[in-house]
Amino acid sequence: MKTISFRKADQTPAWYLVDATDQTLGRLASRVATVLRGKHKPTFTPHEDLGDHVVVINAEKVRLTGNKLKDKVYRHHTGYIGGLKEITAEKLMQKDPTRLITNAVEGMLPKNRLGRAMSKKLKVYAGAGHPHVAQKPEPFPLAR
């Protein structure tokens, strides 16, 4: 029995459209991360970027359960002394709702150059419009 290893040159990535309206953030992010990695395909190869492109629309309508809007804190460091920056999920949702979904999905991808290449295939938009009509993204069904 031979193990078949697939290459990126042999695959053509598909484009999927995901509507984030009334979707729970973590469940949406885990499903999108699975598609970006390519784990939904029978041709999944762990060391190759064989995933598909995902366009997420209506990012401002995503749901967070419980008190996460007030309690969840996103932190990053600028690199300077005393440069720890904090922002709650509620303020981040008002400032840039696309970062909420992007942070959640990138946290579920590998932390290496392969994961960075996969995250470039994620396109998140706050409203219902997107500039990827020419790629003809097909709607991706998400289980509720």
For the stretch 22-68, pLDDT in tens is 999 999 999 999 999 999 999 999 999 999 999 999 999 999 999 99
Across 104-123, average pLDDT? 97
Average pLDDT over residues 80-93: 97
| Domain spans in the chain, listed from the N-terminal domain onward | 14-64+94-131
For residue 90, the model assigns a pLDDT of 96
- For the domain spanning 14-64+94-131, the CATH number is 3.90.1180.10
Q: What does the pLDDT read at residue 103?
A: 97
Phi-psi group of 79: left, alpha or beta (phi > 0 → left; psi -120 to 50 → alpha; rest → beta): left
Three-class DSSP category at 5? coil
Query: What residue ranges in the chain does DSSP mark as E strands?
Result: 15-19, 53-57, 73-77, 84-88, 122-124, 138-139
pLDDT tens-digit series, residues 88-100:
999 999 999 999 9
